[in-house]
Amino acid sequence: MTDYGHNLSFGTFITPANERPQDAVELASLTEQSGLDLVTFQDHPYQPAFLDTWTLLSWVAAKTTTVHLSGNVINLPLRPPAVLARAAASLDLLSGGRFELGLGAGAFWEAIEAMGGPRRTPGQGVDALEEAIEIIRAIWDPAGGHAVNLDGEHYRIHGAKPGPEPAHDVSIWLGAVKPRMLGLTGRKADGWLPSLPYFTLADLDRGNEIIDEAAVAAGRDAREVRRLINIQGTFGSTNQGFLKGPPGQWVEELLPFVLERGFSTFILMVDEPRAIEIYGAEVAPALREAVAAERDRAGTTSGEVVRSPKALALRREGIDYEVLPASLRVGAIEPGDRGYRKVCSTYFRAGSPGLVLAPERAEQLGDALAFAREQQVPLSIRSGGHGISGRSTNDGGIVIDVGKLNEIVVLDAESGRIRLGPGARWGDVAQALAPHGLAMSSGDYGDVGVGGLATAGGIGLLVRKHGLTIDHVVAAEILLADGTTVRASAERNAELFWALRGAGANFGIVTAFELEAYRLSDVVFADMTFEAGDLAQLLERWGQIVEEAPRELTSFLSASARSARVLSVYASEDTNAAVDALTPLLGIATVIDQQAGLAPYAALIPPHGNQHRGSSTPPLISNGFAEHFTPVISRRLASGLRSGVGSLLSIRSVGGAVNDIAPNATAYAHRHQNFNISSLAYGVPDRDFHGYWDELRTHLDGLYPSFETDLRPERLYDAFPEPTLSRLRELKARYDPDNVFNQNFAIPQIDSERRRPALV
């Protein structure tokens, strides 16, 4: 007899009768309006008097906004588990993370058989359910990256592709009655969902015992299994028996179910609107209050995140998990948690952090940073997770992930003033600005995060016409190493504002950016593919044409040893001018393929929302700037591709508006070059790649920190040529003297002996 300490929730169980199909929908909406948390429907797909529960759930999800939804419980034998998993994940995605999966092994076998389903004994039903849970969880886990295979007795799955991943960690609740199924609930499920009318109190206690024992035997904590219960009753002014009377009586009678039997979700079987209203207005809040008072008296806590002994064993040295502030516990992800795989890696790099903190509000970041500073492990900051140089994951350390701070607000459509959270993705930003006729050039990929790019530069598809992204940042709010949050702009903290635009990763966690977006019509884009026979010549020709082109033209070239692709954008809807600017490009080599057209800018960088898989052997990437494509640079790049030392070459035009800004106006000082050249190599020894680039660099001029994996100290001087570096060192000493933010081109402390940066 125990209280498992879960937060309370309250729901309804509504008959999915088809006689007046909208009745069930209206009762579901009323459930939400009455402040309840959950709406559920029984699922009897052989019952002609009922609507199909899955269809009803989908319809209700579309008609509501906050209430969670579940079958109570879904009939497994008539719903193949792999399809069920996808349907559940889809509904969870469409409803914004509001779906939970109540599941049952099946009953009414004759009716199931009549519908073409299997007939199973009770034992077979439990076995099938266990197999199904395994399949469902595997389908929900595309981060695992493996095809789903199961050679079960009831289900055989071979090579099913996992996904989609649900929007949240969907709970699996089992409608268990008999000991074997209760045992399965303890071993594998997230909740037990019995119906009180069919159980005696002694049955409930015995059920809890079996679940607890099975959970512990499986290496779990019994508190990992939520106890939900379907209840029945009527409201009246006098006590007419158990749950038949005034709301106060209900509260008194349900209280022991929480404190002595561990139930925390109460689902009222009801089709009567007034009862739903009373339940929401009078029973739920009063029972919550009574439970809170009792728990206070007993000195126990509510809503603690519970981890199994197995999960706790995966905690990493150097992090004192027990002192993590309560405000950060919900949403904190550890190595043993189900959501870990989703957050441990970044776009290129596999990671294994000991703790990922993902606050929902900027105000929580202060606690996260203070906690992280106390721990003896590396600290990484992550926004979109596309960092190349920046280590936004680590091994055994802490990641502060600001991905949930992803607001995109148009503050003033007239002036183009916008406010962006660091976790927003540039593809989403482009789509949100488009209806206002606004745009902001970022990069060539819609999934890149605002935080990493807007602190470093932003070499995007409109860069020659409109400059870098940082050139349009007018203010930023930043949490500093000492825990204070300041606003930096030309008027306030102007030096910090200077540093944030180019070396922002060194000074704190930017929690919001304000930028001035610009008006943009549709643009002309052209996508051309060429044979790369004489690549050196192709590069030189392309470079010369781009340099001479009007600044409306921005052109990005990527090349492998075999072919080159040129993606160009003419930042205007003047198609004649665009044709004039683009046509010369067709002469740089033999054309394999080409297409061009008018398109909204947002269509060029769509968000993909792909999972970050990363690799334990990420590619090597290096870059440098060049003013012109000289024959020697072109030849070196071509021979690097041919020899395989750089397997992919990526060249972005800069210049134009970028070079209108003075080199000392921001910490990004590269204001006279016309090209950024980067190459990427997989499986090439560091020594060879660095050797190749060391030689190439003697012909190059500067470096963009966002495209660099070479961590040797010299790169810092390339990225921040003097006097930029000295100015940054002074600011680093002022704003981050303890070098807390040291994972991305960390500016070293001043070594006064040599007056040279002491290298990190």
Ligand X SMILES: Cc1cc2nc3c(=O)[nH]c(=O)nc-3n(C[C@H](O)[C@H](O)[C@H](O)COP(=O)(O)OP(=O)(O)OC[C@H]3O[C@@H](n4cnc5c(N)ncnc54)[C@H](O)[C@@H]3O)c2cc1C
Residues 6 or more apart in contact with residue 538 via CB below 8 angstroms = 530, 532, 559, 564, 588, 589
Q: What type of residue sits at position 425?
A: R
Nearer to ligand X, 460 or 543 (CB): 460
Q: Are 240 and 229 in contact (CB under 8 A)?
A: no
* Residues in contact with 604: Cβ distance below 8 Å, sequence separation at least 6, in sequence order: 461, 523, 525, 569
Query: Rounded to the nearest whole angstrom, what is the least distance from the CB of residue 472 to ligand X in the complex?
Result: 13
Q: Which of 10, 41, 99, 445 binds ligand X (CB under 6 A)?
A: 445
Assess 420 for contact with ligand X (CB under 6 A): no
Cβ-closest position to ligand X:
452
Residue span binding ligand X (CB under 6 A) among the ranges 38-46, 218-226, 336-344, 451-459: 451-459
Q: Per CB under 6 A, which region of 51-59, 99-107, 167-175, 456-464 contacts ligand X? A: 456-464
Size of the site for ligand X (CB under 6 A): 37
Is 424 near ligand X (CB under 6 A)? no
> Which of the ranges 82-90, 117-125, 438-446, 580-588 carries the binding residues for ligand X, by CB under 6 A?
438-446
Smallest distance from ligand X to CB 552, Å = 18
Of 265, 383, 431, 554, the residue at the interface with ligand X (CB under 6 A) is 383
φ, ψ dihedrals at 211, nearest 5°: -60, -45
E-strand stretches of 105-178? 148-151, 156-160, 172-174
The region that residue 612 occupies, defined by phi over 0 for left and psi between -120 and 50 for alpha, beta otherwise, is: beta
Measured over the CA atoms of residue 354, residue 360, residue 365 and residue 366, the dihedral's sign is negative
Question: Is residue 388 at the binding interface for ligand X, with CB under 6 A as the rule?
Answer: yes
Radius of gyration for the alpha carbons in the chain, expressed in angstroms and rounded: 30
| In the complex, least distance from residue 411 CB atom to ligand X, rounded to whole angstroms | 19
CB–CB of 533/501 below 8 Å? no
Alpha helical stretches, state H, 516-616 = 535-548, 575-582, 601-604
Kindly state whether residue 509 participates in binding ligand X, applying the rule CB under 6 A. yes
At 363, list the tokens: 């105000």
Q: Note whether 653 binds ligand X by CB under 6 A.
A: no
- Which token pair is 213? 């024992």
Please pick, from the candidates 51, 259, 356, 453, the single residue that binds ligand X as defined by CB under 6 A: 453
Per-state percent for the chain, helix, strand, coil, to nearest 5: 40, 20, 40
Helix 21-33 / helix 53-63 crossing angle, nearest 10 deg: 50
Is residue 743 a contact point for ligand X (CB under 6 A)? yes
Least separation in angstroms between residue 384's CB and ligand X is 3
391 belongs to the binding site for ligand X (CB under 6 A): yes
Note if the bond before 225 is cis, omega within 30 degrees.
no
Beta-carbon contacts of 490 under 8 Å, excluding residues fewer than 6 positions away, are: 474, 497
From the number of C-beta atoms within 10 Å of its C-beta (0-12, 13-18, 19+), residue 595 rates as: exposed
Interacting residue with ligand X among 204, 402, 569, 740 (CB under 6 A): 402
Q: Is 470 in the site for ligand X (CB under 6 A)?
A: no
The interface region with ligand X, picked from 439-447, 582-590, 633-641, 729-737 by CB under 6 A, is 439-447
Would you say 584 or 618 has its CB closer to ligand X?
618
**Under the criterion CB under 6 A, does residue 117 sit at the interface with ligand X?**
no
Q: Is 356 in the site for ligand X (CB under 6 A)?
A: no
Instruction: Say whether residue 512 binds ligand X (CB under 6 A).
Output: no
For ligand X, give the closer residue by CB, 262 or 351.
351
By CB under 6 A, what part of segment 598-617 binds ligand X? none
Member of 5, 262, 422, 655 binding ligand X (CB under 6 A): 422
Q: Among residues 24, 251, 459, 539, which is the contact residue for ligand X, using CB under 6 A? A: 459
* Residue 342 found at the interface with ligand X (CB under 6 A): no
Q: Which residues bind ligand X (CB under 6 A)?
A: 346-347, 380-388, 390-392, 402, 422, 443-445, 448-449, 451-453, 455-460, 504-505, 509-510, 706, 743-744
